[in-house]
Chain A
Amino acid sequence: MNKTVTIKNNFTILPEVEEYLNPDYIYFPLDENVKIIPEIGDTIYKEDPVLKFGEKTIFSPVSGKIIGKINTLVINNQTTPCLAIENDFREKIKNKKGCVKYINEYSQTELYDIISTYCPFLAEINYAKKNIIINGIDSDPFEKTYSTIINKYCSKLLETIDAIVTTFNISTTIFTISNHDSNNVTNLTNNIGTYPNIKLKLISESYPISKEELLAPTVLNKKQLAEGYIFLNIDDILNLYNALKRRRPIIEKYITISGDAIETGKVIKTKIGVSLNDIIKNCCNIKSQKYHIVKNGLLAGTTLLTANTPLTNDIDSIFLNSECSTSEKKCINCGLCNEKCPVGLNPKYIKEHKRADRSKCINCGLCTYICPSKINFKPFLGGKNE
């Protein structure tokens, strides 16, 4: 089943990474079950634990003072209380543990403990599976986040993947990358010889191939699919590298900023918790004031009502884009949405029938993109990512 579409990227994204690592404030959303570790008014160091929910710990990306709860930020378009930390710009780190072993010398238990401590979101994965897919393809055709990470950390990423594969006795490792990403293809083919366990798989650049539901059946055979697989994105591997090599928790992130309302798109390295408002003010040359803020892609992304929202780990890109100028027309029954749906749904039928099963929807937005009548199917589908 190949129901993907090639989408041309019209935006220019600078190849160099811009850093925005010194924000004035950092914000952490306070959910119901979150426990604040330091007291309000305390001074904390960078990488100190700040929040705890269950077994998972969130670490501070800056050193500074805990200001307290504020209620002016919006997350997922809902006002959410946040913990604010004022940056003192000293970047002080206490109790820094050095790396004691070469990264592929850890036992399974040791490796799992490190992952649980420093990358708690990756600790939920069952590492007993026989196959692993490393996704190096950006989820949206207008993103360059993964491509930039691979370009910058190629050998380190391969080293980390090899360590995970060796430690967890994984039999098949497939590193997928877009065949249009020529720099990284060259880079990886030059380096991958050292790691015979890792197979590089070039995937034709089409949307939404990087979704797990489509990529896994493309790169694995039926037997491997039945055995089960681990699916990791390239930024997960970078986080694992930082954890294994530097004992650094997830405090920084690479994101793509692009769209037709800014002059040039770029990939930015910034801290988790920084306000999107600050990123836009400090890193973007805005050419048009009439724009929508969209997170995680122009096709599958979500529109944000305000930029007054902190950068969370699930945000890979921000787009400042003008609204699609064409107005919605009556359905012309062309069937393109049905024909192109990568998971075989019938968006037209689902739109017209409230009870229709939409659970398989991967929220890729391809039906809306392809529709000649410019009908927006997204509010009627709203897949599991919503």
Chain B
Amino acid sequence: MNNVYIRNKKSIKTISLMRILCLVPLIIYGFYRTGIYLYTHKFCSLLMMFKPLLLILTGALIGGIVNIIYELLIKHKKDSLSEILFSSFHIEYGVVLGCISSINTNLAIFAGCLFVLFFISKFFNNHINIMAVCFIAIYLISLTMGPYIFESSYELSKTFSLNLFDYLIGRAPGGIASNHIILLFISVVALAITNNNKTEITIASIFTYSLIAIIYAIITKGSILNMLFLNNYLFIYSYIATDSVTSSYTNYGKIAFGILIGLITFGFWFLNPVLAPFIAIIIVSILNNLIDRICRKISK
């Protein structure tokens, strides 16, 4: 009976669209790096030039289809199509997974994993970060068919010596649209300004992981740049760890959530550096309610 008759314009749809919009510069650069550049240097066919865009679009499409099937056929909702399409963040999840996947990803494995896991996630009340689960599934299934590498055919054909500037402008191997650090920084700033991201989580996780990685690299005399910029860590901390649904929401909770992700990532780095941040995100996302509860008690 009691309701509020005026609502803020901010909705799941506007948040999703804003987050996807912030990814557009990264996607355009990714299309150039893993599509146009490879085609112009004759490393792929004209059709394969569009594979990066196809992967991202497939991700978005599956997100939308899963939402439609769930809302229309299972929940029998009578909302408008736009409301149904954006009834959850699955379209954004699909786009993000497309951005982070390797250009060598098999489209059928990608689409199959996304469809099955997205659909299952709808029934589990979003307690686990589904993007992390999907990526691990794609990675493990792809491994059964051969090595899952992030280098494109062009990058594999040559030997590179990368400096900091190369990492910043996205010359390092990585996901389709996840390795241009400057564009990523701009997109995170845009999300923070428009309040569409839990920036505290991004900052806390990057800070914690970087601190430990730098100390470790100094002790072992390893490459700091490789530890920081390879394997899409910054993108994962910016777009996957901050998934609104499965992350903490209290002020201290968000910081604790980020710190734990950074710590656990480093712990699993020795096991598998590609999967380490995803495993960390899954573990911490399961604990997010507990983190909020503890932080609420501490802040009282």
On A, residues with C-beta under 8 Å from B are: 5, 7, 77, 142, 259, 292, 294, 298-299, 301-303, 305, 319, 321-324, 326-327, 329-330, 332-336, 338-339, 346, 348-349, 365, 368-374, 376, 378-379, 382, 386
Contact = CB atoms under 8 A, between A and B. Distances in A.
Interface of B: 1-8, 10-12, 14-15, 77, 79, 83, 87-89, 125-126, 198, 244-251, 254, 288, 296
A121 B170 CA distance: 70
Given A327-B79, A330-B125, A372-B12, A299 B4 contact: yes
Nearest to B9: A372
A327 B71 CA distance: 12
- Interface pairs A-B: 7 shortest CB-CB: A335-B249, A368-B4, A298-B5, A378-B2, A321-B5, A365-B4, A298-B6
A378 to B, nearest CB: 4
B238 to A, nearest CB: 17
Q: Which among B6, B87, B88, B198 has the greatest number of chain A C-beta atoms within 10 A?
A: B6
Q: Which among A77, A323, A329 has the greatest number of chain B C-beta atoms within 10 A?
A: A329
A349 B4 contact: no
A324 B7 CA distance: 7
A332 B8 contact: no
A292 B125 CA distance: 33
A334 B244 contact: yes
Contact of A329 (B8, B87, B246): B87
Contacts of A332: 12, 15, 89, 244-245
Contacts of B7: 324, 326, 368-369, 371, 374
A284 B83 CA distance: 33
Contacts of B3: 292, 303, 323-324, 368, 376, 378
Contact of A298 (B4, B88, B250, B296): B4
Contacts of B250: 335, 338, 346
A378 B7 CA distance: 13
Contacts of B245: 330, 332-333
A321 B6 CA distance: 9
B129 to A, nearest CB: 11
Given A259-B5, A368-B3, A376-B3, 20 more contacts: A77-B1, A302-B2, A303-B1, A303-B3, A319-B5, A324-B5, A324-B6, A329-B12, A330-B245, A332-B244, A333-B246, A333-B249, A334-B244, A335-B250, A336-B10, A369-B6, A369-B7, A370-B10, A374-B7, A378-B4
A330 B126 contact: yes
A329 B88 contact: yes
Given A326-B7, A333-B244, A374-B11, A305 B87 contact: no
B245 to A, nearest CB: 5
A361 to B, nearest CB: 12
A213 B103 CA distance: 57
16 contacts: A294-B5, A299-B6, A324-B4, A324-B7, A326-B79, A329-B12, A329-B88, A330-B125, A333-B288, A334-B244, A336-B10, A369-B6, A372-B11, A373-B11, A376-B2, A379-B2
Nearest to A367: B4
Contacts of A77: 1
Given A299-B6, A323-B3, A368-B3, A346 B12 contact: no
Contacts of B198: 335
A303 B14 CA distance: 28
Contacts of B247: 333
Nearest to B78: A327
A330 B127 CA distance: 12
A327 to B, nearest CB: 5
A240 to B, nearest CB: 32
Contacts of A382: 2
Q: Which among B4, B246, B288 has the greatest number of chain A C-beta atoms within 10 A?
A: B4
B296 A346 contact: yes
A326 B82 CA distance: 11
Contacts of B244: 332-334
A142 B6 contact: yes
B119 to A, nearest CB: 16
Given A327-B83, A329-B87, A330-B125, A338 B249 contact: yes
B4 A376 contact: yes
Contacts of A329: 12, 87-88
Contacts of B79: 326-327
Given A7-B6, A294-B5, A333-B244, A326 B249 contact: no
